[in-house]
Structure 1
Amino acid sequence: MRTLEKWFEPAVIVTMLGAIIVLVFADVVARFAFSTSVAVANEMARFCFVYMIYFGVSYAIRERRHMRVTVILDGLPRAWRRWTFALAEAVFLIYSVVVCWLGVIITQQSVDRGRIMSSTEWPLGVLYAAIILSGALSALRLAHSLWRVVRHGDDHLTPQQDI
């Protein structure tokens, strides 16, 4: 389980990037060599790109590499820094839960309306599900980070080595 937890996002990100490279390359070759296009390639590349980006968000949270402004934290005394960082993580956690919930609403509305992708004819909800998965993973990662900060006082700038 620890191996799955450690390598899940990187495996998804690398797989999606590899698929994007193959799909775009195949479409370029088809356009220039055969004067045609692979209709599914653009849509699948877009699909892979969306999943790659959304899983990258939760991976950045796991590695504590997501973008943040730390100038205020750096200026605070060490005792205040921990609790200010915990507050920031809690706000980010609430945001991730809201994103996940809104992803559920958007996905459900898309499925209810019967919206499909044009080339693959997949339900558009499959694409929007990336929001749900990323929001849930991000919330889990942030809840764990918040727990570590409150319970153990982990330094906010040190990337997590092993969970």
Structure 2
Amino acid sequence: MRVVLRYIDIFNKYLTIIMGLFLGIMSVVIFFQVFSRFFLGLPLPWSEELARFLMIYTVFFGAAVALRHQKLIAIEVIAESVSKNTRRLIKTVANGIGIVFFIIVLIKGLEVMERVHNQVSAAMQLPMSVAYAAIPIGAVLLIINGIAVIIELYTVEEGEAES
């Protein structure tokens, strides 16, 4: 199982690089939009749309990576005040509920993608399913990382850092 965790962590490193690229591209596009609009008098109509789409993907990717490192907001007062086995059970149940939610998000995201496929974005003329694909892609990544957290609860001792 540690091999599975290692592959998921390697994948998440690449995902983090992709997020960095998306944020970099988004920053450059927004800079050029501001420069073009205020100094050249030529607004770039596609820039805001591209920046928005990149931000949507970055948020979903970031949520998945944050889940893997257990950095999402959580109330752990109860879990921290009980025994190790009970804590493990509580965290397993909480992550299991999260995974069920992400499966629902995946199914509904696919339905929405199908519904909006014939619509195109205003500026870039891309099918809106490109933007909405972030929902099921993000849900799959969240499911994978939620499973990884559960696996880690039972294969890695507390305090032991997984590299």
Same fold (TM over 0.5): yes
Matched, 1:60 2:66: yes
Structure 1 residue corresponding to 2:116, chosen from 110, 117, 130? 110
Uncovered stretches (5+) of structure 1, i.e. residues with no partner: none
Q: Percent identity?
A: 19
Cα gap change, 1:102/1:71 in structure 2, threshold over 3 Å: closer, same or farther?
A: same
Q: 2:89 maps to what in 1?
A: 83
Q: 1:141 maps to what in 2?
A: 145
Cα gap change, 1:160/1:56 in structure 2, threshold over 3 Å: closer, same or farther?
A: farther
Cα gap change, 1:78/1:132 in structure 2, threshold over 3 Å: closer, same or farther?
A: same
Matched, 1:161 2:135: no
Q: 1:31 maps to what in 2?
A: 37
Q: TM-score, normalised by structure 1?
A: 0.88
Q: How far apart are 1:46 and its partner, in Å?
A: 0.6
Q: How far apart, in 1, do the equivalents of 2:160 and 2:114 lie? A: 36
User: Are 1:30 and 1:38, in contact at CA under 8 Å, matched by a contact in 2?
Assistant: yes
Q: How far apart are 1:4 and its partner, in Å?
A: 4.7
One-letter amino acid matched to 1:23: V
One-letter amino acid matched to 1:152: T
User: Are 1:82 and 1:153, in contact at CA under 8 Å, matched by a contact in 2?
Assistant: no
Uncovered stretches (5+) of structure 2, i.e. residues with no partner: 1-5
One-letter amino acid matched to 2:162: Q
Q: 1:124 maps to what in 2?
A: 128
C-alpha offsets along residues 52-93 of structure 1, whole Å, 9 cap, x if unaligned? 111111010122211111111112222311111111111111
Matched, 1:18 2:21: no
CA RMSD of the aligned region, Å? 1.9
Aligned length: 157
